[in-house]
Amino acid sequence: MITGYVIGESLRPGAVFAPGGLRVRAVRRLDVSASAADGQPGLWTLIEWQTDSEDVGGIADALAEALEPEHGWYADFTVGDERVVAFAGKVFRYRRGDAAGRAEAIAYGRSVGTPEHQLDWTE
């Protein structure tokens, strides 16, 4: 089973993130106005999802296709001991604890404008 999150406001207008078997586990509204970066909304809709699908690449690609490229939005999830981080048009996959793999994803996030304090996904 794969479980992940996506911020509703991070999706491109008109985008659909709907891999086969996707189920919504919870939807939360968060006030992030104190830490939102320029151009980002102060309220975020956090959508927790899960799927029994084993198509890790397909799910990651669906996220990369659906994400808004502005402001360095990303979504991430884990599968076993693998971390998957999807930015608009780009996916990183590395073993959890792989400092070089994590650093590569973080460097890419910086290059596309992800605020430093948002490059904090857990291992």
Q: Residue 120 domain-assigned? A: no
Q: Residue 105 domain-assigned? A: yes
Q: Residue 122 domain-assigned? A: no
**pLDDT, tens only, 12-67:** 999 999 988 999 999 999 999 988 777 889 999 999 999 999 999 999 999 999 99
Q: Decide: helix, strand or coil at residue 105.
A: helix
- Report the number of distinct structural domains present in the chain: 1
Q: Residue 121 domain-assigned? A: no
Q: Decide: helix, strand or coil at residue 97.
A: coil
pTM over 0.95: no
Domain range enclosing 99 = 2-115
Q: Residue 38 domain-assigned? A: yes
Q: What is the mean pLDDT of the chain?
A: 93
Using an 8 Å Cβ cutoff, are 46 and 5 in contact?
Answer: yes
